[in-house]
Amino acid sequence: MHVEAAASARKPVTIPALLAMKSHGEKIAMLTCYDASFAAQIEAAGVDVALVGDSLGMVVQGRRNTLSVTLDEMAYHTRSVAQALDNTLLVADLPYMSYRDAKHAREASARLIGDCGAAMVKLEGAGWVCGIISDLVAREAPVCAHLGLTPQAVHRLGGYKVQGRGQDAAERLFADALAVQDAGAEMLVLEAVPAELAARITRALAIPVIGIGAGAACDGQVLVLYDMLGITPGKRPKFSKDFLDEAGSVPAALRAYVEAVRQGRFPAAEHVY
């Protein structure tokens, strides 16, 4: 069946559906999205999960990093995307310092989920963040964790660098992945992680693991929408691919991305560490 036809006929993607996809070995296609027009396009293409990422600070607003993105801005873009989605699951990033304690995390999550239409919030890190995850999940706010290269920690990391290289770093990242799952996270994004380590984490976890620069063994893939359309200014990450260049139109590029993820053709060897 054509991807667009399949998208129009499918049931709404839910968190239990994503868990079922992992258990059945079906790859999950995820893309960032920041407005209603693109949201309608990605839903038509059969994308399973839309992420309103704080990456909007860089690709939409032209900032150097994601740290100045506000909760008000995240709410505006999340509400805009939600208007155009019927079947695609919507995840929204909790921006920098909006989950610095349980109170702020609850308020931010209530706004993005309750007011703006997200089904899940995403936050970065493990350690003390595991307590925040548990608190949110206990209050029916589903959480996607994010490990590896965590952009909100760019200053501590010293830049946008691959994480989990070397045995000690790999073991810490593996332990963090188990910890966020134990805390109640129902999905995990792994960014810029060696493919072998990402495969090990994916096998060990019961929840879906979505890779971005983490190899093809993950349960699914996510890219920044503007990267996969080749319109991000400057040098794009190694793990991205310009699907628009080959497809010739935005709808065709989105369908090509979904098909490549579903069939395990993306990421290829040149996109992983």
User: Over the stretch 76-111, which tens digit does the pLDDT of each residue have?
Assistant: 999 999 999 999 999 999 999 999 999 999 999 999
Closest CA to 154 of 144, 163, 145: 163
Supply the range of the domain harboring residue 189: 3-271
- Residue where the block lists tokens 């150097």: 64
Query: What pLDDT sits at residue 8?
Result: 56
In 3-state terms, what secondary structure has residue 252?
Answer: helix
Question: Is 73 designated active site?
Answer: no
Q: How many domains does the chain have?
A: 1
Averaged pLDDT of the chain: 95
d(Cα 15, Cα 268) in Å, to the nearest integer? 27
Which spans in the chain are helix H?
3-9, 15-24, 36-44, 56-59, 71-82, 102-109, 129-138, 154-157, 167-183, 195-204, 225-228, 243-247, 250-262
**β-sheet bridge partners, residue 91:** 51, 120
Annotated catalytic residue: which of 191, 196, 246, 259? 191
Query: What pLDDT sits at residue 10?
Result: 80
Q: Give the CATH number for residue 253.
A: 3.20.20.60
Residues of the chain scoring pLDDT < 70: 1-8
Q: What is the pTM of this model?
A: 0.95
